[in-house]
Chains A and B, each alone.
Chain A
Amino acid sequence: AQKVTQAQTEISVVEKEDVTLDCVYETRDTTYYLFWYKQPPSGELVFLIRRNSFDEQNEISGRYSWNFQKSTSSFNFTITASQVVDSAVYFCALGAAGNKLTFGGGTRVLVKP
């Protein structure tokens, strides 16, 4: 069985602060994929990143960065210099062949001006 845990239900920061969202997963599969999605108040889930289990390189995309640590089964997401437009719910998800996508409970990020 697959499981994704996002322990932080809500994080509130002031604009320009950095914010890190934790994601811990459980799976028995050796090949799997990890995802992050952003859901702004409008409702659409916006794809941010897909990472396979064999690629442990950290990734940076603009103000976004991801830290994948297989040893601790974690795939954390950091927003640097947060902006009001970053306010949203962020979901971490886990997928493997033959399995449906398993979402974490989501972390609501509120960036105050």
Chain B
Amino acid sequence: DTEVTQTPKHLVMGMTNKKSLKCEQHMGHRAMYWYKQKAKKPPELMFVYSYEKLSINESVPSRFSPECPNSSLLNLHLHALQPEDSALYLCASSQGLAGGTDTQYFGPGTRLTVL
């Protein structure tokens, strides 16, 4: 089973709201990723967790705060976002250590709109 789940599917929030995106995988994968994808662009890496520890932060603004409560769960906490943060947020996981060698399996994404 190569399934990564994400909730919610859609989220609309104001610039003063606090919300969280959730991601879950039960494949025993040791690395989990957050990507941001704008329309007609490829996914851009935001964060990588390896063995539940943050290993890569691609200079993402602090209004995005990742959290990995356990090996199966990955959250992205959102606070004081800007309209330009509206995008599709994708979660992924891979079996091995974080990087570009193992296959990353993606979830369906959360479509975020910031008003």
Contacts and interface: CB of A to CB of B under 8 A. Distances in A.
A44 interface: yes
Contacts of B42: 91, 103-106
B106 interface: yes
Task: State the majority secondary structure of interface residues on B.
Answer: loop
Interface stretch (A56-64, A69-77, A92-100): A92-100
Contacts of A2: 100
Contacts of A96: 99-101
- Interface residues of A toward B: which range? 20 to 34
Contact of A47 (B40, B45, B56, B105): B105
Contacts of B104: 47, 101
A101 B111 CA distance: 22
A42 B108 contact: yes
Interface string A19-42: 000000000000011010100001
Interface of B: 2, 40-43, 45, 48, 56, 58, 88, 90, 92, 99-101, 103-109, 111
Contacts of B56: 100
B107 A101 contact: no
A43 interface: yes
23 contacts: A33-B100, A35-B103, A42-B108, A43-B88, A43-B108, A43-B109, A44-B90, A44-B107, A47-B104, A47-B105, A47-B106, A91-B43, A94-B100, A97-B99, A97-B100, A98-B99, A100-B58, A101-B45, A102-B100, A104-B42, A105-B41, A105-B42, A106-B40
Contacts of B108: 42-44
Given A43-B108, A44-B108, A44-B109, A103 B43 contact: yes
A46 B92 CA distance: 11
Contacts of B58: 100
A15 B35 CA distance: 33
A3 interface: no
A50 interface: yes
Closest 9 CB pairs of A and B: A95-B100, A103-B42, A45-B106, A44-B108, A43-B109, A101-B100, A99-B100, A50-B103, A100-B45
